[in-house]
């Protein structure tokens, strides 16, 4: 607003609110007294499913399917859920922090004060929130609740003042407590009104008008199901629950069991409210004697081989039951000394006086308690007390309670065992799910009944379509893949690279290297790829070097290479002694890719045949810049929208450290297509970021007015150079690994950075963007009606069980050969390019056929798969860094008050634009 002439100077402009960008006035027309106009930056929201002829996909052969969504009838939407905060404290006012106690207290509260609560049923989340249908008599209520028979210190909160010994415990604790015939504990419970959630919100969600309230209302229904499972004694893990039934356990080795259970969640779909139930698996600690678990976990022969420092870490916080009187405790540690040396003060009453005697734990249990100990004497005791008040129990009297989660990373062997033992054929899975519905008998639950909800126990019938696979081209053939598969028999690679100036490096693998390279040359001839003879020297690792660290072994190997080769090799074939688990892999890849710029292929040759060598050649060819096959549509420039205007396709993923590695940096990887109009060639850019951070923070990273060190700058420049100096008009983004709650962040944080990176290169350049999320981590499955086989490859579903408003679809591009096919759930969040529904689904389907590493359609678009591979491979650099002594010497991305994140080394310019991840 202009100020009147002659008035005082203007006050300072109002402070900028977040989400507002000042518009800069043109330099020539700047008015001194004009306040800059504030323009709100619009917040992007996920797009709605388009209407009209192009918004509905029609291509493909119709197919009748069943899905593991069970229809939910809602009798009325007139009611309201009332949300209350629950505060639990002990009698002395201390808050209750022990897990598992809340449900016991709230159950007892409902039973004791039913009339004061108007007979209301609770949906309690086990922690600080409960819901009722309709209000409680008052907005704030206080109760005293007495729980009896608290046999576990975990529940009683007595900090371990006791032992199986009752009155004379090995720590001289509170003996009176154990003299009572029943232990009891009093709790103070406060219930305060927090919010109202109308059931109408569910009806609104079904009409596509989703709000926070509809999410909350569905959450209440999920909590009711969790509560049903909790009452059955299940282990609850987010929205999955696991029964204590040995039929559901499989041994994975190392004292770890796979435990099969069920996931359940209510979902708003186009066909109405549905309950999605699926088979779910978690890992648990092997229940039973602690000593048996430790022997299995450490792979030793007997208790005397156990590493007790390691055991102490493994056992901390696990729950045990003790013999002979079945008390339950939480492990706090181990005794410093062995059972027959560990002393404590035993207090006893004699002639009315208390006498204290120093005695060993072993002596106490054997002579005072008359309990036979066979092997515990020479081993440490389990401590279930507090740091300053230990309570010791001999090892052989302790057994681990069932259903305790194992949260550490699984070994490669354990992981493959879990996959193998938990997979189910489609027919088997359907039987398991039908059985789960029968067992849980949700329709008899009083709380669920009160909400007017009933669940139909039949699989929902839906219609899908089966898309025709895209035609592929090799050098001498055009063909249609059958059943999502093809092979290179009698086919030659489309664009073969030349394998020259190469050598073989052997790290102690048992292999005839001479025969290997001759076979590789012969196989290459058949496939049209020229493999020259390698340098005559096969670099064998000296026997004594195997005892060295992985880093030292790699360094020594490179010393050999530098000393014996006339010039730097272009390619190294590396023979490793073990598959997937080799500690040499990380340092070897890093040395080649970051330090020397050499393309390398690692193999662990066991059964080498022509099929194996062909697969190795496919990878080598892609890494060296060749192309194995491509889409015929790509070759003839006929992919709708993509072939007509310069288009870059991005695949984005963030990988995190294993569970239990909370400080391992996360790794963000973005791959981008290059050499437009190709959609089969990609390169990658990878960065570290703060642990567990899902949003990619380094897409745009200006360090000065002219320099951007972000990921996108690197990829956009590469596209420009490799595509005949063309800037992309279209940017298609496939983002993996984000949940629905993070969609807005992808649209408003990551897409913003990409737009900024484009503007930084050229302020006048405005490409169009399409953003698609690809999710594998969901629980929707499809089954063929009247068949026990998996759904055919190319099956797409975009009706009935999809979102009521948003633009999403499910696709099974691959042929599931084992287990039940897991579809990929694609969410189109943003589409400025303007794809028709058919064109977009065809593009996604086609991008599942351009994966250069294999001769099958894959389950998710290739750029996302490549991003995953690039992050995993460069993540091995980090693993190596953690093992090396210099890891702390890296400069990092650092924010105020945070630990610097070690940076990944940049790839050498010779390999930075290669498909090194293939």
Per-residue pLDDT at 698 exceeds 80: yes
Per-residue pLDDT at 49 exceeds 80: yes
Q: What was the pLDDT predicted at 828?
A: 97
**Other CB atoms within 10 A of residue 143 CB:** 16
Domains for the chain: give ranges and CATH numbers: 288-401 (2.170.260.10), 496-626 (3.40.50.2300), 637-777+841-882+902-907 (3.30.420.10)
Which of 327 and 184 is assigned the larger pLDDT?
A: 327
Lowest mean pLDDT among 30-39, 361-370, 374-383, 785-794: 30-39
Q: Which pLDDT band holds residue 40 (cuts at 50, 70, 90)?
A: low
Distance set, CA 798 to CA 271, 347, 834 (Å): 12, 73, 18
Please state whether beta strands 333-338 and 380-383 pair in parallel, antiparallel, or not at all (unpaired).
Answer: antiparallel
Name the percent of the chain lying above pLDDT 90: 60
Is the separation of the CB atoms in 824 and 780 below 8 Å?
no
Q: Which pLDDT band holds residue 882 (cuts at 50, 70, 90)?
A: low
Q: What was the pLDDT predicted at 596?
A: 95
Per-residue pLDDT at 319 exceeds 50: yes
Q: Which pLDDT band holds residue 792 (cuts at 50, 70, 90)?
A: very high
Structure confidence by residue, pLDDT tens digits, 1-37 = 444 444 444 445 555 544 555 444 444 444 444 444 4
Strand runs labelled E in 332-419:
333-338, 343-350, 353-360, 380-383, 392-393, 398-400
Q: Which pLDDT band holds residue 324 (cuts at 50, 70, 90)?
A: confident
Structure confidence by residue, pLDDT tens digits, 495-513 = 999 999 999 999 977 888 8
Q: Which pLDDT band holds residue 656 (cuts at 50, 70, 90)?
A: confident
Q: What was the pLDDT predicted at 171?
A: 52
Q: What was the pLDDT predicted at 578?
A: 78
Q: Which pLDDT band holds residue 165 (cuts at 50, 70, 90)?
A: very low
Burial level of 365, CB count in 10 A (0-12/13-18/19+)?
buried
Distance set, CA 101 to CA 108, 128, 185, 252, 353 (Å): 11, 12, 11, 31, 38
3-state secondary structure of 770: strand
Q: What was the pLDDT predicted at 159?
A: 34
Please state whether beta strands 235-237 and 240-242 pair in parallel, antiparallel, or not at all (unpaired).
Answer: antiparallel
3-state secondary structure of 673: strand
Q: What was the pLDDT predicted at 26?
A: 43
Q: Which helix (H) or strand (E) holds 552?
A: helix 550-564
Q: Which pLDDT band holds residue 413 (cuts at 50, 70, 90)?
A: confident
Q: Which pLDDT band holds residue 660 (cuts at 50, 70, 90)?
A: low
Q: Which pLDDT band holds residue 880 (cuts at 50, 70, 90)?
A: low
Q: What was the pLDDT predicted at 19?
A: 53
Per-residue pLDDT at 891 exceeds 70: no
Q: What was the pLDDT predicted at 784?
A: 93
Q: What was the pLDDT predicted at 544?
A: 87
Structure confidence by residue, pLDDT tens digits, 715-734 = 999 999 999 999 999 999 99
Structure confidence by residue, pLDDT tens digits, 556-594 = 999 999 999 988 999 999 999 877 678 899 999 999 999
Q: What was the pLDDT predicted at 853?
A: 94
Six-digit token string for 243: 């029964």
Q: Which pLDDT band holds residue 635 (cuts at 50, 70, 90)?
A: very high
Structure confidence by residue, pLDDT tens digits, 859-874 = 999 999 999 999 999 9
Q: What was the pLDDT predicted at 376?
A: 86
Q: What is the pTM of this model?
A: 0.87
Per-residue pLDDT at 41 exceeds 80: no
Q: What was the pLDDT predicted at 368?
A: 85
- Whole-number Å distance between alpha carbons of 393 and 381: 5
Which of 162 and 333 is assigned the larger pLDDT?
A: 333
Q: What was the pLDDT predicted at 505?
A: 94
Q: What was the pLDDT predicted at 886?
A: 40
Distance set, CA 658 to CA 54, 640, 697, 835, 879 (Å): 43, 40, 21, 38, 11
Q: What was the pLDDT predicted at 183?
A: 64
Q: Which pLDDT band holds residue 270 (cuts at 50, 70, 90)?
A: very high
483 conformational bin, left if phi > 0, alpha if psi -120 to 50, beta if neither: left
Q: What was the pLDDT predicted at 97?
A: 76
Alpha carbon dihedral 88, 93, 97, 98, in 10-degree steps, equals -90
- Whole-number Å distance between alpha carbons of 101 and 89: 11
Q: What was the pLDDT predicted at 149?
A: 61
Q: Phi/psi of residue 69, each to 5°?
A: -105, 130
Q: Which pLDDT band holds residue 101 (cuts at 50, 70, 90)?
A: confident
């Amino acid at each position: 607003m202009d100020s009147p002439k002659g008035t005082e100077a203007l006050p300072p402009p109002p402070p900028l609110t977040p989400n507002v960008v000042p518009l800069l006035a043109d330099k020539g027309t700047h008015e001194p007294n004009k306040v800059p106009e504030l323009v709100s930056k619009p917040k992007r929201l996920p797009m709605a499913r388009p209407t009209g002829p192009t918004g509905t996909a029609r291509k493909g052969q119709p197919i009748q399917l069943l899905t593991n969504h069970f229809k939910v009838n809602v009798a009325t939407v007139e009611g309201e859920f009332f949300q209350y905060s629950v505060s639990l404290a002990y009698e002395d006012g201390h808050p209750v922090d022990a897990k598992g106690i809340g449900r016991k207290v709230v159950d007892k509260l409902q039973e004791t004060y039913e009339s004061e609560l108007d007979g209301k049923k609770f949906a309690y989340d086990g922690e600080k929130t409960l819901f009722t249908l309709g209000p409680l008599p008052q907005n704030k209520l206080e109760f005293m609740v007495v729980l009896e028979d608290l046999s576990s210190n975990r529940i009683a909160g007595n900090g371990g003042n006791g032992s199986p010994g009752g009155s004379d415990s090995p720590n001289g604790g509170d003996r009176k407590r154990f003299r009572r015939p029943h232990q009891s504990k009093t709790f103070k419970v406060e219930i305060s009104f927090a919010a109202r959630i109308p059931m109408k919100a569910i009806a609104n969600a079904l009409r596509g008008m989703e709000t926070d309230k509809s999410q909350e209302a569905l959450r209440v229904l999920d909590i009711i199901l969790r509560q049903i499972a909790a009452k059955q004694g299940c282990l609850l893990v987010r929205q999955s629950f696991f029964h204590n039934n040995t039929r559901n356990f499989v041994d994975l080795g190392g004292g770890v069991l796979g435990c099969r259970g069920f996931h359940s969640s209510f979902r708003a779909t186009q066909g109405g409210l549905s309950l999605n139930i699926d088979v779910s698996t978690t890992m648990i600690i092997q229940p039973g004697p602690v000593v048996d678990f430790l022997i299995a976990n450490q792979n030793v022969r007997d208790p005397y081989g156990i590493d007790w420092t390691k055991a102490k870490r493994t056992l901390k916080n696990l729950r045990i039951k003790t013999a002979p009187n079945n008390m339950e405790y939480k492990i706090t540690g181990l005794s410093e000394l062995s059972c027959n040396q560990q002393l404590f003060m035993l207090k006893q009453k004699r002639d009315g006086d208390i006498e204290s005697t120093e005695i060993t734990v072993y002596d106490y249990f054997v002579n005072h308690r008359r309990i036979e100990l066979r092997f515990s004497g020479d081993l440490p005791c389990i401590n279930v007390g507090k740091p300053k008040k230990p309570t010791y129990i001999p090892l052989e009297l302790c057994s681990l309670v069932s259903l305790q989660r194992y949260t550490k990373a699984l070994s490669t062997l354990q992981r493959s065992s879990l996959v193998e033992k938990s997979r189910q054929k489609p027919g088997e899975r359907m039987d398991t799910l039908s059985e789960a519905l029968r067992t849980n008998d949700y329709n008899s639950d009083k709380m669920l009944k009160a909400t007017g909800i009933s669940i139909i126990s039949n699989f929902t019938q839906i219609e899908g379509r089966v898309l025709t696979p895209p035609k592929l081209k090799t050098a001498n053939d055009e063909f249609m893949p059958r059943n999502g598969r093809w092979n290179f028999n009698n086919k030659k690679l489309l664009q073969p690279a030349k394998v020259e100036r190469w050598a073989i490096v052997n790290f102690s693998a048992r292999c005839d290297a001479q025969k290997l390279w001759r076979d590789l040359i012969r196989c290459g001839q058949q496939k049209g790829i020229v493999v020259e003879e390698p340098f005559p020297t096969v670099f064998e690792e000296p026997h004594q070097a195997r005892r060295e660290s992985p880093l030292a072994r790699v360094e020594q190997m490179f010393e050999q290479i530098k000393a014996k080769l006339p010039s730097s090799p272009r390619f190294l074939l590396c023979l490793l002694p073990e598959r997937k688990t080799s500690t040499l892999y990380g340092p070897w890849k890093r040395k080649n890719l970051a330090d020397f710029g050499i393309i390398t292929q690692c193999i662990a040759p066991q059964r080498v045949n022509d099929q194996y060598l062909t697969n190795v050649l496919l990878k080598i060819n892609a890494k060296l810049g060749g192309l194995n096959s491509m889409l015929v549509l790509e070759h003839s420039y006929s992919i709708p929208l993509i072939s007509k205007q310069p288009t870059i396709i991005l695949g984005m993923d963030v990988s995190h450290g294993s569970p239990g590695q909370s400080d391992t940096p996360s790794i963000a990887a973005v791959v981008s297509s290059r050499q437009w109009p190709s959609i089969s060639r990609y390169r990658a850019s990878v960065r570290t970021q703060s642990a567990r951070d899902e949003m990619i923070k380094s897409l745009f990273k200006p360090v000065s007015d002219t320099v951007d060190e972000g990921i996108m700058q690197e990829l956009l420049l590469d596209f420009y150079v490799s595509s005949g100096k063309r800037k992309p008009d279209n940017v298609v983004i496939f983002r993996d690994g984000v949940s629905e709650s993070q969609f807005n962040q992808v649209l408003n944080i990551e897409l913003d950075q990409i737009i900024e990176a484009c503007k930084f290169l050229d302020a006048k350049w405005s490409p169009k963007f399409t953003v698609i999320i690809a999710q594998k981590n969901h629980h929707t499955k499809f089954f063929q009606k009247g068949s026990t086989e998996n759904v055919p490859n190319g099956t797409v579903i975009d009706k009935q069980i999809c979102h009521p408003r948003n633009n999403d679809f499910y696709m099974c591009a691959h042929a599931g050969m084992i287990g039940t096919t897991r579809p990929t759930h694609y969410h189109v969040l943003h589409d400025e390019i303007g794809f028709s529904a058919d064109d977009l689904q065809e593009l996604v389907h086609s991008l599942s056929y351009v994966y250069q590493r294999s001769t099958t359609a894959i389950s998710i678009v290739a750029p996302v798969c490549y991003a995953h591979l690039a992050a995993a491979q460069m993540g091995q650099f980090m693993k190596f860094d953690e093992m090396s002594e210099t890891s702390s010497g890296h400069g990092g991305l650092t924010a105020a008050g945070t630990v610097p994140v070690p940076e990944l080394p940049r790839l050498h310019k010779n390999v930075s634009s290669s498909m090194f991840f293939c």
